[in-house]
Amino acid sequence: MSSLSSRLFDYFKSLDETNAKLLEALGEIGIRNITLLANSTKLPVTTVSFRLKKLMKEKVLVTSNPDLSKLGLAKAFLIATAPLGRQTTLLETIRNTDYWTYIIRCYGKFDGYCAYFAFPASHMKELEKYIKEAKNLQVFTHSQFFWTTNSRVIPPNFSLYDFKKKEWTILWEKWVNDVLTGSSELPEAIKEPYEYPVLVDKKDLLIIKELQKDESIEFKKLAEIVGITPQSVSFRYHKHILGRNLIIDHVVDVYPFPPPLSDLYVFIINFNNEKNLAKFANTCENSPFVVSYSKIIGRDSLIVNVYILKTDFPNLIKALNSLFTKNLIKSFTYATLDPTSYRRQTISYEYFENGKWIYTSEEKIKKLREICRTH
């Protein structure tokens, strides 16, 4: 067992109900307002402060998931199979766009890479053109590319965790029934954007990209990075970032299951209608194996990231098949992801100038052709 896996496994062995409450609250509120955390958990401020410091020493990280549509950015998803021996070409093709946010190796139906992008909404056609050119150059043999809504990242939820036995109990028949009887109201986070306004300037973006790395960063440190006073950082944080609702989720980096006993997957699930999609999405909120989900724009489909115990994976597939027989799901496909291979970066703030996102399509396609020649 690796040191990371051992640390995570030991952490859950010692997890108590108080820390669980705090982790749940961190996912809903974030890490910056201790008074609000105390009120939410009904714990003394001193207890919250002490336990937060201890959690941070144990490397529990809280980061921000921004509302890309309010930054003038459109979220995109690509999963592609590379020809034999050309995985590096596919990887460099994705990286060449500059606006990728997450890249991970995938196996199974797709043997190549899975990637997410936060791409300038004013240049969406250019990314589609780039992907088409990559296909023509045989960078990948088959692929799926979609524009999506923002991702909803599921906060920690310990309602199915037995603190005495130190284990999770997922009743799969109940889970299927919960989906069937769930709310048919579409979650706010995955409602399709009607527009992509730019509600920030460069300084706001610099603050947001640091919050994407660590939400607990001090205003003093942010001031040094942005080149303004701590008071100005505070104003921008409260009036711009919070005031304009630029943060969708507070992401708590806690694995619910030991990594050696678990696997990571991406599912593309197609539903019979939007109400059925909403029922599934709302049930994800209490599903410890769901990491995040986003809606494919213009379709009744979800992209769902799943982290699940190996022993429970067959139960999940059986449950999805049950939802198919009950006419809630139309179809689904999935690929296995390699968590040791992932690459992540923040929004590409460095390409934002004078209130606009910069993307030079001709240069990128020229570089793409060079990549294909040299790899």
Global pTM reads 0.94
For residues 297 and 192, the answer to whether their CB atoms sit within 8 Å is yes
> What is the overall mean pLDDT for the chain?
94
Q: Provide the token pair at 74.
A: 């459109």
Tokens 């936060």 — which residue?
Answer: 118
Domain interval for residue 56: 3-60
Who contacts 32 (Cβ-Cβ below 8 Å, separation ≥6)? 215, 216
Residue 32: CATH number of its domain: 1.10.10
Q: Which residue has the tokens 């607990």?
A: 216
Span 188-237, pLDDT tens digits:
999 999 999 999 999 999 999 999 999 999 999 999 999 999 999 999 99
Residue 179 belongs to a domain with what CATH number? 3.30.70.3460
For the CA atoms of 265, 271, 276, 278, the dihedral, rounded to the nearest 10 degrees, stands at 50
Secondary structure class of 73 (helix, strand, coil)? strand
Tell me the per-residue pLDDT of 309-353, one tens digit each, with 9 for 90 and over. Answer: 999 999 999 999 999 999 999 999 999 999 999 999 999 999 999
pLDDT category at 255 given cuts 50, 70, 90 is confident
Q: Which pLDDT value is given to residue 3? A: 42
Which residue has tokens 């678990």? 262
C-beta separation of 107 from 336 below 8 A: yes
DSSP strand pairing (161-162 vs 142-148): unpaired
Give the integer Cα–Cα distance in Å for 322 and 304.
18
Read off the tokens for 83. 């020809």
283 pLDDT above the threshold of 60: yes
27 and 110 belong to one structural domain: no
**The last residue of a domain, from among 243, 278, 309:** 243
355's enclosing H/E stretch is none
